[in-house]
Amino acid sequence: KAGVTQTPRYLIKTRGQQVTLSCSPISGHRSVSWYQQTPGQGLQFLFEYFSETQRNKGNFPGRFSGRQFSNSRSEMNVSTLELGDSALYLCASSLVPGPQETQYFGPGTRLLVL
Amino acid sequence: AQSVTQLGSHVSVSEGALVLLRCNYSSSVPPYLFWYVQYPNQGLQLLLKYTSAATLVKGINGFEAEFKKSETSFHLTKPSAHMSDAAEYFCAVNSGGSNYKLTFGKGTLLTVNP
């Protein structure tokens, strides 16, 4: 079974631009979560989607948004990019939502904001 | 609120030696606990998880962890380190509730010396 896939793997943008990252979960998984990983802040939860609805949201500004499609694929968008948005963005999927569920991670999209 | 503390941002061991990576958690309710490993330029891979079924949890690649409620700890061990174990290890907690999320520790970089 194929794992979680994320596209693109690498991205370079300039301040003020917007970016859209894509995530395809493991087949049959219906819950998708997004995380930001930086050297300073570590791994931080962005949001979780299930059945095309955002279930939980982390402590990030409104510039960070996401959505989920009927096939469980998810996208996240960051508008008005700032230098501090440079990070590895990780997507994770699980069969269903729940604190006991194992989340399977993709390889990430590395975003560099210049 | 939940949190995770990983003692030691960098641990160095010799090949064949015991690996011990420390994790302490804070949670107001019985938690679900996870250990993930991250190799360079890759996403996170689940090593093992605790879901209250047994206090000693065995994972992949010879790793195991013991849940100690009285010490609020979930340390990761492996009897004999292998060069391929060199990676960054993350402990994570999910306490459930209406706004549950996976909270990660800052990570421990494991170096294995020949």
Are B102 and A45 inside 8 Å of each other by CB? yes
User: Per residue in B4-40, pLDDT tens?
Assistant: 999 999 999 999 999 999 999 988 777 899 999 999 8
Is B43 close to A48, i.e. CB distance below 8 A?
A: no
Residues of B in contact with A100 (CB under 8 A): 32, 51, 94, 96
pLDDT tens, residue by residue, B50-105: 988 788 999 999 999 999 999 999 999 999 999 999 999 999 998 777 777 899 99
Given an 8 Å threshold on Cβ–Cβ distance, is B100 in contact with A99? yes
Residue B69 CB partners (closer than 8 Å, separation 6+): none
**Nearest-CA distance A43 → chain B (Å):** 6
The rounded average pLDDT for each run of 10 residues, N- to C-terminus, in chain A (114 residues) is 93 98 97 96 95 93 97 97 97 92 95 98
Which of A32, A108, A17 minimizes the C-alpha distance to A70? Answer: A32
